[in-house]
Amino acid sequence: MKLSVRSELFYAFENPTDAIVSVQAAWSPDQLVLAEWLTIEPFHTLVQDPTDQRGERRFRARLQGEVRIIYEAVVDNYERPALTSDLCIRDLIDLPADTLQYTTPSRYCPSDLFGRFAQREFGGLQGGAQIQTVLDWIYRNLDYAHGVSNVQTTAHETFTDRAGVCRDFTHMGITLCRALGVPARAVSAYALNLEPPDFHAVFEVYLGDGWYMVDATRLADPKTLVRIGVGRDAADIAFLSTNGPCELLDQRVSVMLASDL
158 and 42 inside one domain: no
pLDDT at 259 over 90: no
Q: What's the pLDDT score for residue 260?
A: 54
Residue 111 lies in a domain: yes
- Choose between 27 and 133: higher pLDDT: 133
Distance CA 42, CA 56 (A): 25
CA–CA distances in Å: residue 250 to residues 9, 45, 46, 67: 6, 22, 21, 11
206 and 125 inside one domain: yes
45 and 131 inside one domain: no
Residue 141 lies in a domain: yes
Which tens digit of pLDDT belongs to each residue from 81-135? 999 999 999 999 999 999 999 999 999 999 999 999 999 999 999 999 999 999 9
Residue 87 lies in a domain: no
- Considering only CA atoms, which of 189, 223, 179, 187 is closest in space to residue 204? 187
Rounded to the nearest integer, the mean pLDDT of the chain is 94
Task: Domain of residue 69: give its range.
Answer: 2-78+240-260
102 and 216 inside one domain: yes
Q: Which of the 8 DSSP states describes residue 147? A: T
Q: What's the pLDDT score for residue 215?
A: 98
Residue 171 lies in a domain: yes
pLDDT at 51 over 70: no
pTM (2 d.p.): 0.94
CATH number of residue 70's parent domain: 2.60.40.2250
101 and 64 inside one domain: no
Q: Which of the 8 DSSP states describes residue 76? A: E
